[in-house]
Amino acid sequence: METRVLIMQLAYLLSAVLFIFGLKRLSHPDTARGGNRLAAVGMLLAIVATLGGGQILTWQWIIAGLLIGGISGGFMARLVKMTAMPQMVGMFNGFGGLASGLVAAAEFLRYSLGVAGTADVPLDGSISIMLGTLIGAVTFSGSMVAFGKLQGIVTEKAVKFKGQQFLNASLFLGIIAVMVYLVLMTPGAIVASNPGTVDLLYYVLWVAAMLLGVLLVIPIGGADMPVVVSLLNSYSGLAASAAGFVLSNNALIISGALVGASGLILTRIMCKAMNRSLANVIFGTFGQTTGKVLVKGEKRTMADVNDVQPDDVAMLLAYAKQVVIVPGYGLAVAQAQHKLRELCDNLEHRGVNVKYVVHPVAGRMPGHMNVLLAEANVPYNQLYEPEDVNPDIANVDACLVVGANDVVNPAARDEPSSDLYGMPIIEVDRAKHCVVMKRSLNPGFAGVDNELFYLRNTMMLFGDAADSIGRILEEVKQL
Amino acid sequence: MTGTILISVYVFVLAMFVGFEVITKVPPTLHTPLMSGSNAISGISIVGALVIAGMGEGTMFDIIGVIAVAAATINVVGGFMVTDRMLQMFRRDTDTN
């Protein structure tokens, strides 16, 4: 092996090791920032090793690509709002998938255009190219749809139509057939006799795979977005691995596998937090029974609701011993997290013990709510998980639910007929008092009504969350 | 089937196990940064993209190469930067009190 290549390979190995250490550190709060930087150093090393590896003959396109990507990526990372983090991660995922797919495409064209010096693709190379193309294209288009949904460009509702699963299944089988055909017909033979066919079929494969990505993501509704974002994250890793198989490059294979694994872990955590299987998320009919009957079939109205004013809530909170805050995505929409923290700080000064309880699926991606609260300066050791708080929740004087709905719905615990049944919830209905801040009585993301709003110990405070919290804060200050 | 691909499959499977072992216990606080950080790592395809963009084999490859490099770079640079931006916001209670 040429010394230069050997050095490049060793640098790749070192990068992979840095990624592993980086990820390890990323999973502990105290070391996370250093871990991320370690991984970035690993990436820089891999890039420098590639550029110095002796395979680069022309530089202008590399520089152009690096500049375009670096500047736009940098700007996006700086300017994005924390509420918009899920769609940005979705978009980045998509770009990673696209890059991996294009690596496979270039390898294919190297053979079919005769650049490789031979048109005989080895069997393993050919299989890798097809898989790389499929995963890369599905990741790209699927992520773009996820981005569109989260950004509100594409409808957030689950798009379903008759024969959808049949269409998806046929499309998938068709793709497999094309892939097998392309793998079996060694391009060498076909290129010689009929140069256009193989190329054309390969382009068809791209289009079909992108279509599959779109079709797989459109039927998934807003409430399930955290699962989809995690799953696409995993795909983007697998796409990189597939590109690694295409190039026989272990750095890509290892890094891709690490990301694939971490995405799968997060996907599993999200599914568990909703008590649903992955298959149920992808193919399920969740949230389709919108407007579903209430428990016992009676139609509830505003008259059944215990509707209160900010001063009542202020009184309750200020003289409580233990307060639990349950933030949901509605909090972030109202941009009320800063005001909320101010209120909580004030309560703590009065000697009230305040805990924030964050449900794993609160927000639009795993851990999203934690980031939003961190942005509002809430220390992460004040954040609790539902299982930390549920056992003693009966001793909590007041639960303040801000912009959360499905994650506090008692039907998930009590009502086997509910779509939410079995999902772990924060059992705020068992606390002494519960205040729910909400714009209206509309059902949540999952489209399921919430019995909590009509309970005797629940108070409803209607209005904009930021405004209501501000008014509670004023009242608390005067007490 | 050549020996290289077999080794590659070995590497892939073992690396998946490493991934599962390294990441299993992640506190929810870090789910988002972990995802965006690992997402940046998946931009490693940039290694392949650079080679395409730099091999000078004609317009077709130049176009594919420049798109691939740009896409991967957005993924890498954006991913690491935004993760860092998020992580700098996380703090413990003791920092202020």
pTM listed for this prediction: 0.89
* Residues of chain A found within 8 Å of residue B68, distances taken between Cβ atoms: 65, 98-99, 102-103, 106
**For position B92, what pLDDT does the model report?**
78
Nearest to A240 among B8, B45, B69 (CB): B45
What is the residue whose two structure tokens read 């569109």?
Answer: A148
- Smallest CA–CA separation between B36 and chain A, in Å? 6
Question: Is residue A379 within 8 Å of residue B92, measured between CB atoms?
Answer: yes
**For position A355, what pLDDT does the model report?**
92
pLDDT digits (tens, 9 = 90+) for A184-242: 875 555 555 556 778 888 999 999 999 999 999 988 877 788 888 899 999 999 999 99
- Smallest CA–CA separation between B39 and chain A, in Å? 6
**Phi and psi, residue B6, nearest 5°:** -65, -45
Q: Round to whole Å and give the CA distance between A356 and A212.
A: 40
Please indicate whether, in this complex, the C-beta atoms of A263 and B24 are within 8 angstroms of each other.
no
Please indicate whether, in this complex, the C-beta atoms of B45 and A252 are within 8 angstroms of each other.
yes
Tokens linked to B57: 């084999």
Please indicate whether, in this complex, the C-beta atoms of A246 and B48 are within 8 angstroms of each other.
yes
Mapping DSSP onto H, E and C, the string for A26-42 reads HCCCCCHHHHHHHHHHH
Q: b/e for A84-99, b at 16 or more Cβ within 10 A?
A: bbbbbbbbbbbbbbbb
DSSP code of A325?
E
pLDDT digits (tens, 9 = 90+) for B16-54: 999 999 887 788 889 999 999 999 999 999 999 999 999
Tokens linked to A118: 């031979």
Q: Which residues contact A107 (CB under 8 A, 6 or more apart)?
A: A125, A129, A132, A246, A247
Q: Which of A57, A46, A1, A12 is nearest to B51 (CA)?
A: A57
Please indicate whether, in this complex, the C-beta atoms of B61 and A73 are within 8 angstroms of each other.
no
Domain positions in chain A:
80-282, 302-478
Please indicate whether, in this complex, the C-beta atoms of B34 and A43 are within 8 angstroms of each other.
no
Nearest to A250 among B11, B68, B88 (CB): B11
CA distances (Å), origin B47, targets A125, A217, B8: 18, 29, 17
Q: List A401's β-bridge partners, or say none.
A: A326, A436
For residue A82, the number of C-alpha atoms closer than 13 Å in the C-beta half-sphere is 26
DSSP code of B27?
-
**For position B58, what pLDDT does the model report?**
87
Predicted confidence (pLDDT) at residue B96 exceeds the cutoff of 50 = no
- Smallest CA–CA separation between A320 and chain B, in Å? 22
**Phi and psi, residue A27, nearest 5°:** -95, 15
* B positions 44-63 inside 8 Å of A (CB): 44-58, 60-62
Q: Which residues contact B94 (CB under 8 A, 6 or more apart)?
A: none
Question: Is residue A46 within 8 Å of residue B53, measured between CB atoms?
Answer: no
Please indicate whether, in this complex, the C-beta atoms of B37 and A65 are within 8 angstroms of each other.
no
* Residues of chain B found within 8 Å of residue A32, distances taken between Cβ atoms: 30, 33, 87, 90
Question: Is residue B8 within 8 Å of residue A244, measured between CB atoms?
Answer: yes
* Active-site residue set of A: 406
Nearest to A257 among B15, B88, B91 (CB): B15
Domain A302-478 has CATH 3.30.300.170: no
Question: Is residue A318 within 8 Å of residue A476, measured between CB atoms?
Answer: yes
What is the residue whose two structure tokens read 């992979």?
Answer: A16
For residue A32, the number of C-alpha atoms closer than 13 Å in the C-beta half-sphere is 29
- Smallest CA–CA separation between A79 and chain B, in Å? 9
**For position A94, what pLDDT does the model report?**
95
**For position A18, what pLDDT does the model report?**
96
Question: Is residue A185 within 8 Å of residue A197, measured between CB atoms?
Answer: no
Nearest to A240 among B23, B42, B85 (CB): B42
Mean pLDDT in order along chain A per 10 residues (479 residues): 87 95 90 95 96 88 95 95 91 95 92 73 85 96 93 81 86 93 68 68 94 91 83 94 92 94 90 82 55 46 79 90 90 86 91 91 86 89 89 91 87 84 89 88 68 87 89 89
With 0-12 / 13-18 / 19 or more C-beta atoms within 10 angstroms meaning exposed / middle / buried, residue A411 is: buried
Predicted confidence (pLDDT) at residue B15 exceeds the cutoff of 60 = yes
Q: List A353's β-bridge partners, or say none.
A: A322
Please indicate whether, in this complex, the C-beta atoms of A259 and B33 are within 8 angstroms of each other.
no
Q: Round to whole Å and give the CA distance between A219 and A90.
A: 17
**For position A292, what pLDDT does the model report?**
42
This model of the complex carries an ipTM of 0.94
- Chosen from B32, B62, B93 to mutate, greatest number of chain A CBs within 10 A: B32
CA distances (Å), origin A182, targets A108, A175, A195: 10, 11, 13
